[in-house]
Amino acid sequence: MGADMANGATPMMVQFLEIKAQYPDALLFYRMGDFYEMFFDDAIAASAALDIALTKRGKHDGEDIAMCGVPQHAAEGYLLTLIRKGFRVAVCDQMESPAEAKKRGYKAVVKREVVRLVTPGTLTEDTLLDARRHNYLAAYAQVRDSGAYAWLDLSTGELHVTRCPKIMLGPMLARTSPREVLVVEGDVPDSLTEDSAVITPLARASFDSEGARTRLERLYGTGSLDGFGQFDRAELGALGALIDYIDITQKGRLPLIHPPVQEQQGAAMQIDAATRRNLELTHALSGGREGGLLNAIDRTVTGAGARLLETRVCAPSTDLTVIRERLDAVQLFVDDRTLSADLRDALRQAPDMDRALSRLALDRGGPRDLASIRNGLTAGARMGAILSGELPEGVAQAAKVLSTLPDCAALLESALVAEPPLLKRDGGFVTEGVDVDLDEARTLRDEGRGVIASMQAKYAELAGVTALKIKHNNVLGYFIETTATHAEKMMSDPLSDTFIHRQTTANAVRFTTVELSELETRILNAGARTLELELEQFDRMRDAVLNDGASISTIARALAELDVASALAELAVDSDWTRPKLDMSRSFNIVGGRHPVVERALQRQGGADFIPNDCDLTAQGDNAARIILLTGPNMAGKSTWLRQNAIIALLAQIGAYVPAASAEIGLVDQLFSRVGAADDLARGRSTFMVEMVETAAILNRAGPRAMVILDEIGRGTATYDGLSIAWAVMEHLHEVNGARALFATHYHEMTGLSAKLDGVSNATVAVREWEGNVVFLHEVREGAADRSYGVQVARLAGLPDSVVDRARSVLKMLESEEHGGKAKLRIDDLPLFAVPVSEPAAPKADSQVESRLADILPDGLTPREALDLIYELKGLMPQ
């Protein structure tokens, strides 16, 4: 083929270029036999991304054609690498065999088509996905002043939409963490530049609300969408863009997409991106899941349960009825440990039915996906039987759902073998007795193998050659093989009439017989017929499953709900957590609260126990503020106390028990955190600028039901500037926002605000000094700290003693009556090598050694004189 290319574009290359022109923004995986090949710029990009060899294959327009490829059977691993690196991949498969192509002419090119466009938001294979995390594809639509955000997990079919003004897009992106976001071409919202998702522009027509309505009605087979909710034009546009994009990328194959769930504004606690990051809800600040809240509390045993728990952590409910129903379910399993253990044993046998169902709908599923559905339904039935008697409302509904098996369950149980193969082309996944024709074809196929064995024995005896073997390959089919030494005998009379020579190789000679050829035809036909009938049974089972798709999804959801409830109960029992009391008041009274992540880390390290602390932020009145101003040294635990109380509020509203002796919480609808410091170099923001931007977002948005934690506001600038800003922020929170807040600071001057503002009280983290060192007690008490103990903490950090001593001297000078803010500090007051002010140096007379040295000229001394001088000086030194 290379010689042909040298003379110009071959038909195959013409075909490649035509297909590639339709997908200019994607790498084209072009199927050639057992490989996916890439050419030109695609090959150069893919070879670098995948670290595979870049080769050449002929020429095009006088230039070498760059080429690289990956094996078809291992393509998924390479796809995952490319997707993680931000590529989109168009998978172009052969739609016919080379033999079929040749029927159209000797030089006919095998028909190829793109069967799928693989993008970050459209993955469905288990090998490409994290079983315990959603993989969202999102879309944002703006129609005049109305905005909407929709998100879909193609691997499970879950679809949600909510009205979303542009100002709320950032928090929604932080909450859902989509892998890919669809936007109108030429209109990318600013919020998206801060997110790690791949941005995919679509034509404005994809977001047209009327076209979207038609697409959705066709998808769900309804004449109206009223049964799903009242959607405005922006919501329809976002939903329609998702469906249009799925149609484009899946080449017309649509998965089972659940009816859209319309989320009302305020249904979930609002948490912005900065707060999620500061509280380390799903990931630690270092970037990994270890050290995050979700990792610390996750005891789920199914992938679906883990995904549901993450969804709740990212979007705590603000509906008291929902929260209490979830808490009732957790309490059931806390109180009945036997029931919980039996349920969790059954849950461990429940596969991921949602993802198996999605693959089957997209025609990417195999026998094991059918087995996942069967095993999941069986496990669900077991749990339905376990859950009996008086049950909380939520658990009772789940038990009812699990007790009603869909029609496909009986078919899967009777027709599918216990351990089916991964690929349907391997066959052997249908049980005996399901199809008479299939059983007959199998018998012929299997007996044919036995006949081959007996025929080999017969031919070995006839030829007198014990080394004779009957083998098979895809080129010759069945053949008789023996060594060249014995072959001469078989090609001589009278054996030559029976054994027909077919091929001679370097090490052996191959024969056939009329009888063997006839048997081969029967066996091959039987094998092909067997697979054909098995594939028919696969389609029958898959269609039955898809017909019951809605029921299966409902059962899968019930299993996930039970998994989360029992997992939270397991956590509560093992960690000694308590059920919180929630209402619509402005209360927030935590007794013996603990930080779940820090406590877990201490337990793993085998160190000291976590010191619990109280927190009473109960506000007196519907719009009254309640703020605790916390002072104390660094490293004493101020940030931990701030974070743990915010986390306790969040845990309570996901429907979990909380790490405290008791907790009374008035519903929190917004959670804000301004903790830590970091530059945003990519956007040209200093640490202080980032701090101010985040603080501004809180002051502009926090309402009376918000909970705010602020740590060290104003520390990134000059002392008086910082103090002024912190002071003004505190007053604004109290007078304007009326929020419940925890405010940690080193500006001790602010403690005087408690006398001015009714809703402000002071608290401090207790410490004790011992022999010049500071001991942290990690106890939060009423009152204010008198100082920050910064120098002592610096010593604990390992600063050189000279630096610590110098810092003490400077501190005493600054705190002295002369320089205590009344007079400007002069540099001469603190010479670099000054003796500390607490230890003034008295003038001293010259010693005998110093007087003697003053008379010495070192350059004039001989070695002998220098040695004598050393002895002389030693005698003069005081003993």
637 marked among binding-site residues? yes
Q: Which burial class, exposed, middle or buried, applies to 867 when counting CB atoms under 10 A from its CB (0-12, 13-18, 19+)?
A: exposed
Mapping DSSP onto H, E and C, the string for 522-577 reads HHHHHHHHHHHHHHHHHHHHHHHHHHCHHHHHHHHHHHHHHHHHHHHHHHHHHHCC
At CB < 8 A and 24+ separation, what contacts does 780-787 make?
A: 780/613, 780/614, 780/615, 780/630, 780/637, 780/641, 784/629, 784/631, 784/748, 784/751, 785/631, 785/632, 785/633, 785/748, 786/748, 787/633, 787/748
| 632 has binding-site annotation | yes
| Residue 667 burial by Cβ neighbours in a 10 Å radius (0-12, 13-18, 19+) | buried
**Contacting residues for 25 by C-beta, under 8 A, at least 6 apart:** 88
Distance set, CA 191 to CA 81, 167, 242 (Å): 27, 8, 19
Residue bearing tokens 């038909």: 11
- Contact residues for 318 (Cβ-Cβ < 8 A; gap 6+): 266, 267, 268, 269, 653, 667, 668, 669
634 annotated binding-site participant: yes
Contacts with 562 (C-beta within 8 Å, 6 or more apart), sequence order: 305, 329, 343, 347, 383, 395, 398
Rg of the chain on CA atoms, in Å: 38
Complete DSSP assignment for 675-710: -S---BGGGTB-HHHHHHHHHHHHHHH--TTEEEEE
Among 587, 578, 579, 590, residue whose Cα is nearest residue 666: 587
Strand-strand pairing, 500-504 and 477-482: unpaired
Cα gap 254→243, rounded to integer Å: 9
Phi, psi values for residue 85, rounded to 5°: -95, 10
- Residues 687/677, Cβ–Cβ less than 8 Å: yes
Contacts of 164 by beta carbon, 8 Å cutoff, 6+ apart: 140, 147, 148, 149, 172
Write down the residue that tokens 């052997």 correspond to. 428
Residue keyed to tokens 């991949």: 89
Residue 116 to residue 125: CA distance in whole angstroms: 13
635 is in an annotated binding site: yes
Token pair recorded at residue 299: 């005891």
Q: Is the peptide bond before 633 cis (omega within 30 degrees of 0)?
A: no
Give the span between the Cα atoms of 879 and 875, in whole angstroms: 9
Q: Residue 30: phi, psi to the nearest 5? A: -100, 110
8 Å CB contact between 545 and 516: no
**What are the phi and psi torsion angles at 659 (to 5°)?**
-80, 80
Q: How many C-beta atoms surround the C-beta of residue 620 within 10 A?
A: 11
Contacts of 846 (CB under 8 A, 6+ apart): 854
Q: Which of 131, 127, 540, 548 is nearest to 351 (CA)?
A: 131
Q: What whole-number distance in Å separates Cα of residue 557 and Cα of residue 394?
A: 12
DSSP character at residue 767: E
Exposure class string for 58-94: b at 16+ Cβ within 10 A, else e:
bbbeeeebbbbbbeeeebeebbbebbeeebbbbbbeb
**What are the strands, taking DSSP E only, across 144-191?**
146-153, 158-163, 180-184
Residue type, 475: V
Detail the residues annotated as belonging to a binding site: 632-639
Detail the residues annotated as belonging to a binding site for ATP: 632-639
